[in-house]
Amino acid sequence: MAQTLDTVFSALADPTRRAILAMLLEDDMAVTDVAEPFQISLAAVSKHLSILAEAGLILRERRGRVIWCKLEPDAMRSASVWMQSFGQFEPVDLDAFERFLEDELSEGEDAAT
């Protein structure tokens, strides 16, 4: 389970990937439609999609000549359960969790100096 959590949290660490997941909450999307709102190349978006797929957060399937992306919400279940065990975080409030970790890390650095 630790490896799965590491992979999911690593995938969620990037704001572009979180934005892609938010877009896929609405509906399945073609890769070109996913790439449209971003100011990065299609190759860069494809790399982000590969990372999300490797983490199990999305599924990609070919429909004719088009590759479609679909959110796989069950993949975040283990991460959500792990965060809920702390009791102070909302199940999917990843930004608050990120701020918490940054605060903890900076306090640890302050204590070491």
Domain of residue 63 covers 2-112
- CATH code, domain carrying 75: 1.10.10.10
Do residues 111 and 104 touch, judged by C-beta distance below 8 A? no
Distance between CA 62 and CA 6 in Å, rounded?
28
| Number of domains making up the chain | 1
Q: What is the pLDDT of residues 54-88, one digit of tens each?
A: 999 999 999 999 999 999 978 888 788 887 777 66
Do residues 28 and 69 touch, judged by C-beta distance below 8 A? yes
pTM of the predicted protein model: 0.71
| Those residues with Cβ within 8 angstroms of residue 50's Cβ, 6 or more apart along the chain or in another chain | none
The CA-based angle 9-52-54, given to 5 degrees, is 95
Q: What is the pLDDT of residues 30-52, one digit of tens each?
A: 999 999 999 999 999 999 999 99
